[in-house]
Structure 1
């Protein structure tokens, strides 16, 4: 789906007569928030993608809804907070908070309308395949009796009607809460009354009617409206209205907080009662009820959206779980690295022989878990150190660390309490780990520890050896099946010593004066990137080969963007794969005509971060400098987080990441969108048989470093000179 012709991202072309620093920010950069909304527009476009099975299209619609909810809870709430406090600090493109909010509101309304249109398109298509997302008014008469009984038995006992009058203050509506407000009259005396019914958080969003031949799903709020007479006997229903609330859900860290655990426990409670930033209403909402909702929930200037469709589209993920494999992507089983199997499952023996890099989800996350499980039971292992940013609800990684501590190992876990929306879960994991004897560290008050590092120290015949795992993604078994990430295993002594320094930095605030290989933010990662870009500029100016390839989730950091602009002006060819937010403007004459940006949206969520620098040789090359990282090119990653950037020096690992992973991303034509200087994203048109789908490529081909000595499944060599692989 192309961006609209008058997208707010547009700006005037760059004037070559001026230096870069003199150019108006709006001409030089895209707005961060509007760029994110463009990303969600691409996600929503996948709900209309005819290449996808219907339930996968519904999944993308649900993801789009969930993404937009989080954007409102965090980004819009933050801007509104700045506006209320009179803050006029401008964004990278020169917009004040109020100016950004005005532009955001316009695009959010477009996206909401697009989401409802996508649902309206999917409903009849799903119904034709035996899956009905029922409109409450169109439920068959034969089904109403069953629904009435279900409502009386399962829903009615947990619903609490709340009168709204001077004796009853307006009820509190939780974040993401859905409710129905009723305008009633008492039959006995004709007196009017307003009542509110909130849907309890533990109630499923949809009810599935019994039946194997056809699946009918009904939203619970529609049942509350249909069977309101059971709730209000003796009253006439004059009107009703379904509504939904989104609140400010960010947690601001107070640097003077003495006890982070206690602080976050109370902050989580405060978040649930944050200021309302969005009120959603159904189009048929009773006028009197709507006026009351606006007065009580939107008086502070919260955005109000009225929709003729369904509220809370994130809840459609429940329908997606319908057992219809014919309407989903074909089942895919991740491979287990052949190299480790050749060593009878001994991770340490395989890593000791040669570095290994695993690309999830194509290679199984189980190898990461097995690495820790083996460490937990291995009598030769002395200690384990582990960072934990997000680990999920059911975490085999946590269980392995607990087992290691119970087996007498020295185990240290750095648990990040500031992982947004995972704070509560991480508090629970921290308590469980401490009970098992794990030394739990919470890191810095003002910085998040976002680096993904595991370190196992083992006593061997020739002395102490340290095995490390560096990841671009979280130690989370569920997202590892969806996100494309890299897991790098090595016994390189230099990287081991640097990993030790990183842990000492987090646990004891001992800042490493010098590292041998790793770049660590906020210490020297920015400088390392700057130096690498500057070297490409120098090579281009000296007439030597130059080039930069990068794969990121986001690029917003002004300093990195400006250096890439300078590189483009020097003649460096730059290829960027940026899935989400991109504040850099590609293809602007005199500024960035040598920079090309694409975004890949598909079956898997692209999440790995990779940098490659030509280093005086044409890309791709064995002489190129290649790094993987836990960090995006964002100010928060470079300034306010502890991150790691790891150089790849092993020849096979280097080739896998540069000649396989990065090159496949650049060659993809079937899941790619290209960004132009005006801010429009255009879906790349596949060229018939010449089209290339990177997800299909990796699902079919083993990794270079993990395929073992037998070389099973030879990997087709990719080349920039052709459109497929």
Structure 2
């Protein structure tokens, strides 16, 4: 071993994955301050940040707390222990939460008010609004609320994860002579958190009140004959990771149904409470949940801030949102009576959502369901949404007598309940439904259609980097490939055989698949690029994924950089690699694109490979490469390769929605040089690809 060569496995060369994920959340928060965005979109970004932080606590911080509680602390590749990571994240989360409410109160709410969109606090209610609020509370709120006085017969209630609740201090005795002095009032989830004030009661504009304001104004009405001396909202966040050992259950679906209920009542990880809440009530709540002040978040506004997301849907203000657009459809796929399979048989077709429509995928399934020559349809489903045209088309095909086989991943986080319902719907239609392979999440996105043509069977495939979710296809960037290539479709057939049957993994000719061949082939392609650089050839790697955390791939990229390979990494979220380190990663540039759409496509480009470009369902993470079923598929058409290469170049040239990663893990927003035009990759793609 070269004594001068650095130890690339040293903790100094890695960034903690959780801290890196927090950096991504902070980039989302910054979008709320971007004055180039329409006002309601900035408001939406604030709500997205809030939602992301909820999941961050439910999954990541909860996982760290579990490790510490069960004495399972291990040092990660970055050298940090869970306790150190948790302490660092707690400090960052508190600062971020404070900034979130500062943006809400000092920037966005005043800006909304200037547009005559008001969230009215109680002090600003006119007598007419106050009378309406009292009537609304008595007839719409009070009948569905169940206040809980605390005494030995009414212990502290078991409150649902992330639910809005109020702790109330009381004076006086009730009808039974009880004077415990305290009550809890859960706000039913059936009640809207934001209520529109009738237009005739206001001068102009759009006016709203929060449910919490209605509760505060009329809390005495819930405790007849007593006096509420204080009413303060609070919310508890719980560990929401499912404790399901698939290897120890006989029926995953049945076991999962049981676990879904427990998710609502996992261990507490965060207490959010109104900043005006007295110290004694805060201490009482912390004691109830066995939390410390490290897990306490005193906020200046609604504790359930994410529920204000509905404001955007309650307004008809097109000037305050992004301009609408119509996703395009390639000419070869247009026409209501056009057979999509005819076009796919002639040439591979590539779609880039959301700039290009997801409709051809749905139409393809509908046509296959009605096509008398289609014999079978096989498909993987990870996320589709609770109401899915894709699932309806599959059910239609099954009822029409097609052989329909669907591999549904029940453990897609936070979509488990929807997927259970979809599985039942498909089974009732006559489809064969399986749940993948025990111990491996089926994350691949694949569709296989078998059709009889001229007494022979031909296969057609759809492979994607995203989910079969029409809603997400309007918000996420993802590639879709439609192909009738015999080798490609035969490989997809073999993967379905592995998923639904049993036996040794068959040799696959064109695809890379996890957990079998994807990781080793990525490492091989990186090394081949490094060897080309050593030989003095031009060498370039571009990887666009959502996360880069796998240690072996990171060290392989370091080695390629040291060999002289130019490496561009477009990593939306977590990145454990440190760019720009002298003698190690000077040739590596890492950027994150954060814009109107969620960057979700996974693309791998190797300058010296044949073919040069692959798209995949997989990120570069241990779980994706070793513990999931994933598909990485080549782009065989030179024309389509050139198109993707052009898209990647746009991302690399973006100078207004891209963030450059620094060696310490922080990010700086790229800005155009003086006299340099502004270039947003997403806006360029919108202009180029949409109708």
Q: TM-score normalized by structure 2?
A: 0.96
Q: How much has 1:651 moved relative to structure 2?
A: 1.7
Structure 1 CA distance for aligned equivalents of residues 629 and 269 of structure 2: 31
Alignment of structure 1 residues 441-480 onto 2, 5 Å: 441-461=434-454, 463-480=456-473
| Cα 1:382/1:72, change in 2 over 3 Å | same
1:76 aligns with 2:61: yes
Aligned match of 1:620: none
State the match for 1:119 in structure 2: 104
1:301–1:690 Cα change, 3 Å: closer
In 2, the alpha carbon distance for the partners of 1:292 and 1:80 equals 22
Residue 224 of structure 2 corresponds to which residue in structure 1?
233
Say if 2:204 is the partner of 1:204.
no
Task: Determine if contact 2:611/2:635 at 8 Å carries over to the other structure.
Answer: no
Once residues 603 and 140 of structure 2 are traced to their aligned partners in structure 1, the CA distance between those partners, rounded to angstroms, is 51
Is contact 1:186-1:192 (8 Å) kept? Answer: no
CA contact under 8 A between 2:327 and 2:689: conserved in structure 1? no
What is the aligned partner in structure 1 of residue 626 from structure 2? Answer: 639
Q: Distance in 1 between matches of 2:676 and 2:233?
A: 49
1:597 aligns to 2:584 (yes or no): no
Q: Report if the CA contact (8 A) 2:162-2:235 is conserved.
A: yes
Q: Could you tell me whether the CA contact under 8 Å between 1:159 and 1:199 is conserved in 2?
A: yes
**2: distance between equivalents of 1:614 and 1:689?**
28
Q: Which segment is superposed worse, 223-232 or 469-478?
A: 223-232
1:132 aligned to 118, 132, 143, which one?
118
The answer to whether the Cα contact below 8 Å between 2:149 and 2:180 also exists between their aligned partners in 1 is: no
The alignment of Structure 1 onto Structure 2 pairs a total of residues equal to 681
Q: 1:669 aligns with which of 655, 660, 666?
A: 655
Residue from 669, 675, 678 that aligns with 2:664: 678
Q: Is 1:653–2:618 an aligned residue pair?
A: no
Cα distance in 1 for residues equivalent to 2:267 and 2:590: 37
Output aligned runs, 1:274-673, within 5 Å: 274-299=266-291, 303-321=295-313, 322-341=315-334, 344-461=337-454, 463-615=456-608, 625-659=612-646, 661-673=647-659
* Aligned residues of 2:541 and 2:568 also touching (Cα < 8 A): yes
**C-alpha distance in structure 1 between counterparts of 2:445 and 2:410, whole Å:** 15
Specify the SS of the correspondent of 1:48: coil
> 5 Å matches for 1:38-187?
38-120=23-105, 121-186=107-172
Q: Distance in 2 between matches of 1:22 and 1:398?
A: 47
Please give the per-residue CA displacement for 1:285-338, whole angstroms capped at 9, x wherever unaligned.
133322221110234787111112321221121112122111100111111221
Rounded to whole Å, the distance in 2 between the matches of 1:311 and 1:631 is 35
Per-residue deviation, 1:454: 0.4
What SS does structure 2 have at the residue aligned with 1:690? coil
Q: How far off its partner does 1:133 sit?
A: 2.3
Alpha carbons 1:351, 1:491 under 8 Å: kept: yes
Query: Given that residues 241 and 290 in structure 1 are in contact (C-alpha distance below 8 angstroms), is that contact kept between their aligned partners in structure 2?
Result: no
Shift of 1:512: 2.5
2:180 and 2:616 mapped to 1: Cα distance? 62
Secondary structure at the aligned position of 1:21 is classed as: coil
Pairwise CA distance, 1:23: 6.3
Deviation (angstroms), 1:24: 3.8
Q: SS of 1:386's equivalent?
A: strand
Deviation at 1:18, TM superposition (A): 5.3
RMSD of the TM alignment (CA)? 1.8
Is residue 374–residue 451 contact of structure 2 (8 Å, CA) maintained in 1? yes
What displacement does 1:140 show?
Answer: 3.4
Aligned mates of 1:376, 1:689 — CA distance in 2: 52
Q: 2: distance between equivalents of 1:157 and 1:561?
A: 58
Which SS does the other structure have where 2:136 is aligned?
helix
1:545-566 residue CA offsets vs partner (Å, 9 max, x unmatched): 1110111111011011110000
8 Å Cα contact 2:219/2:231 also seen in 1:
no
CA contact (8 A) 1:550 1:611 kept: yes
Tell me the equivalent position of 1:271. Answer: 263
The 2-side partners of 1:629 and 1:191 are apart by 63
* In 2, Cα distance between equivalents of 1:333 and 1:137: 44
Aligned mates of 2:198, 2:572 — CA distance in 1: 41
TM-score, normalized by length of structure 1?
0.91
Query: Post-superposition, which runs of at least 4 consecutive aligned residues in structure 1 deviate over 6 A?
Result: 187-190
Distance 1:119 1:343, change over 3 A: closer
CA distance in 2, matches of 1:85, 1:190: 41
Show CA shifts across 1:97-143 (max 9, x none).
11111111011011101111110110010001011123344333331
* Structure 2 unaligned blocks of 5 or more: none
